[in-house]
Structure 1
């Protein structure tokens, strides 16, 4: 195997792949990355057996071949080199020699056949293409609500429910729920239901370009995200998602309209004085304003603020975990926010006001028991 490549080109490709490499693993081969040449490209693969990332860069290929080498080592070597043309050569014992303007560096590799194979998606693939901006909104506005409880595996990922003309991304940890939807009549006539782990989606968001589009292929056990300069294979969570629609209130007699940024800033300030164990912040809602209150009895801290709102009730008292409430508010992108209530011990719905055409967002937050003692 012999090729030459620009330092920045190979470094950019390695940067995408190296983060997939696990910090610790009982399967040492996953500490390596696979380098191989194909179609005048140098292709690089990294995997932790749950996520497999393939990236590539243009190279001048003198001799085709493949090798598996320590991923972080080759990444760190390339990182420290200035931009110039680099020469790579691999011998029959899979020893790699890197030559730069400054010197030579040798790395011991292993037979590439020992490297894990890329996932086989199987036959009868289903696919959907989305603009990167839409795709990013779907992921970011849902995955924050995923659970971290590995015993509830179905809740540790985002549930994608795709039907003709519509894509929905839903996540919940049982305390909160986030649902982001995108409607477009030009989307293909397909039906897909799949749960994608949140860690895989983090890699997807990290590698999405600001502009352009990407395609998702759904197989039996894996999903493939295809981008202009990378492919990400993600193992699907093979469990049934919860019946989330059951917890969404169908009728909400009380509604509040408030400025998103003002409300978010006030919650952040007041919550600094909440009890660290409960993070409770109390909202006392009146027709034209909200009083926000938090108190830490143990240390004597207390805060209270008043901000304007529009409310169709007379007097409503409810409490939330301030961390969860801030998560909800942080993912509202419109100037105005609507909160809908049933009663103080029932799920609250939050949604942006005046979203772009084709987009819809709904979030649910469970209140906490009022502790006013």
Structure 2
């Protein structure tokens, strides 16, 4: 194989691969990427055995062929050279490849292409296309609520399913819940309920942030997303998502309307007294506003008060994990947010009138 490719194009192709390929893999071939050159195009593939990422770059192909090269060694080398173009040539015998960029050059050991693993794919049962950023938006709206507890692996991701004529994206860790919906795209009517792993969700938020059409192909084991020159194939979480709809309150008798930025600032201020992430913040809510308080055994007490609010219902004293509140409020773009409450022990629905398709739920902590 012998090719010449623009450094910027090759770096752009390698960037999403470098995010998933291990720097110190248990199996050496998993630290390599597969490069395939033919017909004026270079295709590069990386995997961690749960996900595969494919990207393309235009190339001048003198000799077609394929090779595996150490991903991070090549990526780090290219980031440090100034040349506008890069040539890659596999030496006779295939055991080494020479990479030249201007006056800089490096010779890399290869591994057999036959050893490079691939995720066995099966036929998709649902295929649909839509603008990439329109698909990214509901994923971004709920990603904050994914669990990080591996013992509850089925919560470590985003649940996608068809419900009531919508395509719903859901995440919960048992303490908070996010649900965002879009109209079902043509072709997605047959989508089986799936759980996208957290690692795949993080990658999708990057590759879908483009002005391009995204194509999605899904069955009950795999999902393939293509946006622009990048394709990611991912295994799905093998589990059953709980019936989250049971915890969504059907009504409320207290409503707080407040500027999310004002409330976020107040929570952040009172939480500074403790070094513990996720300290308890207590909200005392009534017609005169919202009082906020937190306590640290080591440092003391902290309090604040917001008057610029609207409240309907009986006064209530309710406590939350401050980290969950700040994460949630940081994701809200509207000027006003509604907190819909019943009693201090029941879930609170946080509603942004500018995002009627998104529901956020927060479980309170016990009031001390």
Question: How much has 1:265 moved relative to structure 2?
Answer: 1.3
Query: 2:268·2:326 contact (CA, 8 Å) conserved in 1?
Result: yes
User: What TM-score do you get using the length of structure 2 for normalisation?
Assistant: 0.94
Matches within 5 A, 1:99-178: 99-117=100-118, 119-162=119-162, 165-178=165-178
Distance 1:187 1:289, change over 3 A: farther
In the alignment, what sits opposite 1:367? 364
In the alignment, what sits opposite 1:299? 299
Matches within 5 A, 1:193-342: 193-274=193-274, 276=276, 279-342=279-342
- C-alpha RMSD of the superposition: 1.9
> Are 1:28 and 2:28 matched, yes or no?
yes
Distance 1:21 1:165, change over 3 A: same
In the alignment, what sits opposite 2:40? 40
**Structure 2: distance between partners of 1:321 and 1:94:** 56
In the alignment, what sits opposite 1:66? 66
Distance 1:209 1:366, change over 3 A: closer
Question: How much has 1:288 moved relative to structure 2?
Answer: 4.6
**Structure 2: distance between partners of 1:75 and 1:52:** 17
**Structure 1: distance between partners of 2:311 and 2:98:** 70
Distance 1:272 1:233, change over 3 A: same
Report the 3-state secondary structure (helix = DSSP H, G, I; strand = E; otherwise coil) of the residue aligned with 2:139.
helix
Report the 3-state secondary structure (helix = DSSP H, G, I; strand = E; otherwise coil) of the residue aligned with 1:142.
helix
Query: 1:332·1:351 contact (CA, 8 Å) conserved in 2?
Result: no
**Structure 1: distance between partners of 2:149 and 2:299:** 31
Deviation string, structure 1 residues 169-199 (Cα, Å, up to 9, x no partner)? 1011111111111126767533331000111
Question: How much has 1:364 moved relative to structure 2?
Answer: 0.9
Give structure 1 stretches of 5+ with no counterpart: none
Query: 2:284·2:292 contact (CA, 8 Å) conserved in 1?
Result: yes
Query: 2:318·2:364 contact (CA, 8 Å) conserved in 1?
Result: yes
Structure 1 segments (4+ residues) deviating >6 Å: none
Give structure 2 stretches of 5+ with no counterpart: none
In the alignment, what sits opposite 1:96? 97
**Structure 2: distance between partners of 1:344 and 1:164:** 31
Between the two proteins, the alignment pairs up a number of residues equal to: 367
